[in-house]
């Protein structure tokens, strides 16, 4: 993989943003992304089943096996673009304790992959 490949696939200067979201908002984000024409959200630390023929998910669990608590707040990371509600993911705007870094996602990936 070359740096030009990463630059072509990540052309924007989006930065890493963290926040706390309630479990119900995380569930809604994942369900919204199932139907998204532009692709699904990439997730880590959570697993779920997609109900056949529906735009719903079930059996949502954290990586450690605990069920997602719809009322509990979880720390999540995303791009500043999505955190601002981009691509119609408005649930991110409900997040609290938001922190936007100065770390450009593309540069972080390049540092990790290309050494």
Buried b (16+ CB within 10 A) or exposed e, 6-34: beeebeeebbbbebebbbebbbbbbbbbe
Predicted TM-score (pTM) of the model is: 0.86
Each of the 115 residues of the chain gets a pLDDT tens digit; together they read 677 788 888 889 999 999 999 999 999 999 888 877 777 888 999 999 988 777 788 899 999 999 999 999 999 999 999 999 998 899 999 999 999 999 999 999 888 887 6
What is the structure's pLDDT at 39? 73
Mapped onto helix, strand or coil, the DSSP state of residue 80 is helix
Range of the domain at 44: 3-113
Q: What is the CATH number of the domain that holds 85?
A: 3.90.780.10
Give the span between the Cα atoms of 73 and 97, in whole angstroms: 11
What is the structure's pLDDT at 1? 64
Backbone φ, ψ for residue 101 (5° rounding): -90, 175
What is the structure's pLDDT at 51? 84
What is the structure's pLDDT at 4? 78
Please name the residue that has the structure tokens 């999540």. 76
Number of domains observed in the structure of the chain: 1
């Amino acid at each position: 993989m070359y740096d030009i490949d990463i630059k072509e696939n990540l052309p924007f200067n989006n930065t890493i943003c963290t926040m706390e979201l309630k479990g119900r908002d995380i569930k809604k984000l994942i369900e919204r992304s199932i139907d998204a024409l532009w692709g699904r959200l990439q997730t880590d630390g959570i697993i779920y089943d997609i109900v056949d023929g529906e735009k719903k998910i079930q059996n949502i669990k954290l990586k450690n096996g605990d069920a997602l608590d719809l009322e509990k707040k979880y720390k999540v990371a995303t791009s500043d673009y999505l955190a601002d509600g981009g691509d119609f993911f408005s649930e991110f705007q409900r997040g609290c304790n938001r922190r936007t870094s100065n770390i450009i996602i593309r540069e972080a990936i390049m540092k990790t992959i290309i050494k």
